[in-house]
Amino acid sequence: MSDGSRSRLVKFGLFAAAAVLLPLLLPGYALQQVCIAIAYAIAIMGLNLLMGFGGQICLAQGALFGVGAYVTAILNSDYGIHPIATLPMSATATALVGLVVGLPALRLQGLQLAIVTFGIAAAFPQLLLKMGGITGGVSGLPIDGLEAPTWVPVSPELWLYVVSQCCAGIAALLVTLMLFGDVGRALRAQRDNAQIAEALGVNLTKTRLWAFAGSSALAGLGGGVFAIITGFISPESFLAILSINIVIGSIVGGVTSVVGAFLGGLFMVFVPTWASDINLSLGNLIYGLALILIMMVARNGVTGFIEKWLSTILRRTADNTASVKETREELT
Amino acid sequence: MSLISKLKSCTKQLAMTVLLTASQAHAAEPSPGVADDTIRIGVTGPLTGPVAVVGAVAEGIRARIEQVNAEGGVKMGDGKTRKIELVIEDDGLDPQRTLANVRKMVEQDEVFALVGTAATPNNLAIGRYINQKKVPNVFMYSGVHALNAPDWEIGFVPSFATEADSFAEYLKVGRPDAKVAFLYLNTETGEIFMKAFDRAIEGTSIRVVDRQPVTSQDPTVETQLNTLKASGADTLVIIAAPRQGGEAIRFQSESGWKPLTLVTNLSSAYPILQSVGLENAKGIITSDFLKPIVGDKKTDDKGIDLYLDAAAASKVNFNVANTIGQTGYAIGDALVQALEKLKEPTREELMKVVRNIDGWQNPLLPADIKITTKEGSDIFPIEALQLYQFDGQKYVPLGGTLDFEAETKE
Amino acid sequence: MSLFFQLVVSGLTTGAIYAALALALVLIFRATNVVNFGQGEMATFSAYCTWQLMEWGAPLWVALLVSLAGSFAVGVITFRAVIRPLMSAPVEAIVVVTLGIFVLFQAAGMWLWGAEQRSFPSLFPDGGFNVGDVRILNSTVGTLVILVMIAVLMGLIFSFTRLGLSMRAAAFDHARSVLVGVNVERMLMLGWGFAAVIGAFAAILIAPRLFLNPTMMTPILFYGLAAATLGGWDSPLGAIAGGLIVGVAESLGASYLSFIGADMRIAVPIALTLLILLVKPVGLFGSYKVTKL
């Protein structure tokens, strides 16, 4: 077995074990927070596709997340559609919005794109308030509580967890498929060098718009899941800071990793809470320090750090087994 | 063991755990958080973040509770004296974090009730949960009262509609043909206020000539105010967050406009006027349900002195003249009074008490502003306001108390 | 018509605030090729220090000079402690670190001085004067004059002095600057120090308008970034022009475009930035070269 596939297998095994163990170990309220982390993780996966693989910076992922949440909420509370059934529609609608947001990316890059999209994130909550007739204004919208089907004997929290993990699984699958296909190759090519990629026949317009649509679809899916988990949404949940936090989650987790997206989501939800548990009035101070320290220790994100560490260990054990073998051979 | 059988056993275990926790929940004692000598209460509010000013509510509550505990605790209606254990959590005003905090406080810390939960969206976000778990959410810090858990929540501060009524009342007498310009917060705060105001001036010759929205994120409000000034209005009503409200108070003076300026108590607190410059605030009118407090000097008012002592003893992190902190203290006192009246320490009993309040006094409320509610008809604890005019040094009462008891409509 | 001119003037008043932050952002970008998202919060912290010194009885000018010197030290320390170890790290890591700086300084300010707003003394006399019907505030004029002076000085230093050229070179290409004998680390360190000083000065100029509080810079971060982008991230005067354009456009848009209104006025700078960038991708005063976040 090659080194790379072995480390991938170990990683996947650890991840699967964690996913199954979490609901066994955590009390209900913490499990709900994990569910929210998963919703964020779905949005981060989208951003990773766009930022990590596509090299396009989008600071409006939180706004797109909000679009998805509102589509789910409106379809559920105004039209009575079952919350889970709204998810494909949230993803599709958000993908369309994402295409519009992505249009400037055809001409703008880097810093400029970041700032224009940040503007969209800042304007989004005001837009929600302005469109109070549809969005319910500051009093927001309720979403039906999710009950497990009668044949599944689990608590509502666990059912939410299962549903959000399934959505995250679908998202991870989509991202992986997209990355291994032609789109993924074109995406990486234009990230590394747009001119050369274009010369080699990569259609920049199509590729970038695809990336935006895919990324936004995942943001929308994540938002829909978020709305279902919290059961109530209002503009306060989708302020500009959310977009920044999603970017932080993405980078802290590792911009080119699916597992990293989950770690990023958990980071977004739990680290601020833990920081304020350590000391109520110093919470944000600790959080800020944590952000800086993490990047200093793990400059390629936490997954990058773990991978490096894991491969060192694997190599060492591999060396050990090899040397054991050698000594045996010598003995015989 | 193969992976599949492992998974199977895990699922089985999972289902077992879930069933177990469910049955445990049923077997739990009827009123969690109550012991013979303590009662646990939860508070969540924005202690950090862009609106950390509102965190003063939690600080004010803490000041009152620590004071009561220092005196030995609350003598409750069942004859036992209990100390109050406060669990305070920071939510940064993010509704999702409020819900997470509340769930943690209810499920892990097992609080008896929540008190002083800040802001409308945050109370809406926890509505369904507290309804399900039947946890009282008392004396919320929200100017909107009819939220989504009517059986388990009660507000505290007057509705924005009550404030609007008091302003309309003042204008009807003081300036019967006022031309009014509104600077309003683009949330329900502004909407409820203006709707109530429009209703109150129906049939009078008071006219609203212009309305400009303001958001709590606006860096400056010069643009809106210049437009309002050009509308020819002679009366300015400011409904805005402290920063924008402060800028508006400064503008009406600095620009040479000098209309009759009415400011809601969102942005009329004394420390805000200090930041604006007291001279600039001379003449503004506001309405409040609290006694005016300008500094930490002792007065001849027993209630205020009690508050100042508590604030000093608890080393609160806000200026004692800050009305948000004072509101927190008043909420803390109302909680203590409610606990004193509990015949049995159950959540149902607490709701029964706070939904049938018959004219409680409060150390920070003037003697003729009383707290009153009635199950089924009146969910607004405070419905009376006193108008004040700022004379450049302090707030001077303007006329008597305006009482709108049982008249509030949202 | 006088309303129109009054709105232009109030746009300039607001624009001066944006310009001040944009100036600091541009300086650090030119000197180190990093966009420091925490610039505004560092500046607010310095303004608080000035205020604190005055509370302790120092006269305004002493407090000002001491806290500007302190800001330089804070900028240098920040660079040495958290940016220098990451100089070879991916740009994403630096973005997160500057966001960490943002959170850290805001939290420190809130912890030390509380969340309530305070008054901050203006460097200029109170009040204003009238031109026809239009009222202009002394502080607007004063702020703009000082900002332009700083910008011109910065432009001259960057273009004509050895120090300025070395700083630009160091920011532009670490490796090759070393080869031509530039002490890259020292230049970047100086860049962080100077940017912190300019930021602090900007905060002191605008704190009287915004009221001193730990989050006073947060809502204008986007406007500052938009102003710097309009100006092209390249010239200090461009940043000021960008700020003023954003301020005036926002003021007029909020008043005359009724479908936007004052509550959606943030849409105006977004649309404007987008429009100008689509026509001229490097911004109004930018020169063509590759920029990376």
Residue range B109-157, pLDDT digits in tens? 999 999 999 988 999 999 999 999 999 999 999 888 888 888 999 999 9
Structural domain harbouring A149: 3-331
Inter-chain touch C17–B242, beta carbons under 8 Å: no
Under the banding of pLDDT at 50, 70 and 90, the label for residue C103 is very high
User: Per-residue pLDDT averaged across C238-249, rounded?
Assistant: 95
Complex ipTM, two decimals?
0.91
What rounded mean pLDDT belongs to chain C?
90
Q: What is the pLDDT of residue B10?
A: 47
Interface mutation target, options B51, B54, B210, B226, chain C, most CBs of C under 10 Å: B226
User: Which residue numbers in chain A have pLDDT < 50?
Assistant: 1, 332
Question: What gap in Å lies between CA C248 and CA C32, rounded to an integer?
Answer: 30
Q: Based on the structure, what is the number of domains in chain A?
A: 1
* Interface check A331 vs C, CB under 8 A: no
What pLDDT, on the 0 to 100 scale, is given for residue B5? 47
* Separation between Cα atoms, residue A157 and residue C235, nearest integer Å: 55
A46-81: pLDDT as tens digits: 999 999 998 888 999 999 999 999 999 999 999 999
pLDDT band at B297, cuts 50/70/90?
confident
Residues B309-338: what's their mean pLDDT?
95
Closest CA to A193 of A55, A57, A300: A55
Q: Residue B409 corresponds to which amino acid?
A: K
pLDDT score of C270: 92
Residue B51 banded pLDDT, cuts 50, 70, 90:
confident
SS (H, E, C) B47-102: CCCCCHHHHHHHHHHHHHHHHHHHCCCEECCCCCEEEEEEEEEECCCCHHHHHHHH
Picking from A122, A230, A281, the nearest residue to B99 by CB comes out as: A230
**Predicted confidence (pLDDT) per residue in B164-204, tens digit:** 999 999 999 999 999 999 999 988 889 899 999 999 999 99
- Res C192 pLDDT > 60: yes
At residue B2, the pLDDT reads 46
Answer yes or no: do C101 and A255 touch at CB < 8 A.
no
pLDDT of residue C26: 92
Report the pLDDT value the prediction gives residue A2, as an integer from 0 to 100. Answer: 55
Contact predicate C231/C240, CB 8 Å = yes
Confidence (pLDDT) at B22: 45
- What mean pLDDT do residues C146-151 have? 94
Cα B352 from Cα B347, distance rounded (Å): 9
pLDDT of C142 > 80? The answer is: yes
Q: Give the strand pairing for B137-138 and B113-115.
A: parallel
Residues of C in CB contact (< 8 Å) with B are 3, 6-7, 10-11, 13-14, 17-18, 107, 110, 114-119, 126-128, 135, 137, 209-216, 218-220, 223, 250-251, 254-255, 261-263, 265-266
Q: Residue B191: its chain A contacts at CB < 8 A?
A: 137
> What's the rounded mean pLDDT across residues B17-39?
63
B95 and A234 within 8 Å at the Cβ level: the answer is yes
Residues 6+ apart with CB under 8 A from A242: A62, A65, A66, A121
Binned at pLDDT 50, 70 and 90, residue B3 comes out as very low
pLDDT at B19: 46
Q: Are A13 and A148 in contact (CB under 8 A)?
A: no
- Segment A83-99, tens digit of pLDDT: 999 999 999 999 999 99
The chain A residue lying nearest C34, using CA atoms, is A111
Task: Locate the chain B residue with the closest alpha carbon to A13.
Answer: B3
Residue B17: what pLDDT?
Answer: 46
Give the contacts of B137 (CB within 8 A, at least 6 positions apart).
B113, B114, B117, B123, B126, B130, B149, B152, B153, B154
Categorize the per-residue pLDDT at B30 as very low, low, confident or very high, splitting at 50, 70 and 90. Answer: low
In sequence order, which ranges of chain A are alpha helices (DSSP H)? 3-25, 28-47, 61-79, 83-102, 110-130, 132-135, 156-180, 182-192, 194-199, 204-230, 240-253, 258-278, 283-297, 301-331
Topology adopted by domain B38-157+295-379: Rossmann fold (3.40.50)
User: What is the CB neighbour count within 10 angstroms for residue C285?
Assistant: 19
* Residue of C274, C278, C289, C291 to mutate when probing chain A, most A C-beta within 10 A: C274
Sequence length of chain C is 293
Instruction: Calculate mean pLDDT across residues C51-68.
Output: 95
Do B160-288+388-403 and B38-157+295-379 fall under one CATH topology? yes
Nearest chain A Cα to C84, which residue? A296
- Scanning every residue of chain B, which has its alpha carbon at the shortest distance from the alpha carbon of C265? B218
Instruction: Using the predicted structure, report yes or no on whether residue B24 has a pLDDT greater than 60.
Output: no
Q: In the prediction, which pLDDT does C165 show?
A: 87
- Number of A–B residue contacts, CB under 8 Å: 111
For chain B, domain boundaries = 38-157+295-379, 160-288+388-403
Cβ(A205)–Cβ(A94) below 8 Å? no
Q: What is the C-alpha to C-alpha distance for residues C27 and C17, in angstroms, rounded to an integer?
A: 16
Residues C64-68, mean pLDDT to the nearest whole number: 96
* Partner residue facing C219 (CB), from B217, B254, B276: B217
Task: List the CATH number of the domain containing A194.
Answer: 1.10.3470
Class of the domain covering B160-288+388-403: alpha beta
Angle, helices C162-172/C184-210, rounded to nearest 10 degrees: 100
